[in-house]
A = this chain, B = another copy of it.
Amino acid sequence: MSGRKAQAARNDELILQAARAVFTADPGAPIAAVAEKAGVGISALYRRYPSKEALLQKLCGDGLKLYIEVTERALAEEGDPWEAFAGYLRGIVDADTNSLTIKLAGTFQPTEELGRDAMRAGALATEIHRRTVEAGVLRPDLTTADIALLLEQIASIRVGDERRISELRHRYLTLMMDALRLPPARRELPGPAATDEELSSRWWTGS
């Protein structure tokens, strides 16, 4: 398979990736920014999605499915309960679905399927949290919602490029896990620390 069909298939993926990147950085971004980032025209978008809202729903749905997948994988883990939970947290941070899903909440009408997936995601999160607390390796004075909010905090970090963002998020996730784990333990933090330059650079070009 090659030629026109191949380019169309490639564009399918290109557009989705671009949309995810653009809307993650700025949930209110115009649709033209997605087209530009993907290197295609606007009609390439409208050929695939009838409206902006449809594209956002697709993106949000994909994010939820990824979240569910990561959580199910962690639940299937048989070994050390803490390691399973830690892997879950790292997986969510890597998947980076919080940035999109949360920021877009309320900007469009949630579909039927989206609601169902959200429900399932919530159930899974509750399950892995319960299991980890019962194993006695996680601070019991935190709810599932607390954990979710902590993950959102980490997702709010946006400094430098994609790679640096991930690095810093894992750094602070490790720090946070030190506060979560039972019995108390303290590990070395991954990645180079943040610098003053990284902070102040945001004052010159738009966020």
By a beta-carbon cutoff of 8 Å, the part of chain A in contact with chain B is 28, 102-103, 105-107, 110, 118, 122, 126, 141-146, 148-150, 152-154, 156-157, 159, 168, 171-172, 175-176, 178-180, 184, 186, 188-189, 193-196, 198-200, 202-207
In the complex this chain forms, how many copies of it are found?
2
Q: Indicate if the CB atoms of A194 and B156 lie closer than 8 Å.
A: no
Residues of B within 8 A of A205 (CB): 106
Q: Indicate if the CB atoms of A188 and B141 lie closer than 8 Å.
A: yes
Q: Indicate if the CB atoms of B168 and A179 lie closer than 8 Å.
A: no
- Contact sample, A vs B, 5 pairs, CB 8 Å cutoff: A103-B207, A126-B196, A148-B199, A149-B199, A175-B180
The residue from B159, B206, B207 contacting A149, defined by CB atoms under 8 A apart:
B159
Q: Indicate if the CB atoms of A142 and B193 lie closer than 8 Å.
A: yes
Q: How far is the CA of A199 from the CA of B145 in the complex (A)?
A: 7
Q: Indicate if the CB atoms of A145 and B198 lie closer than 8 Å.
A: yes
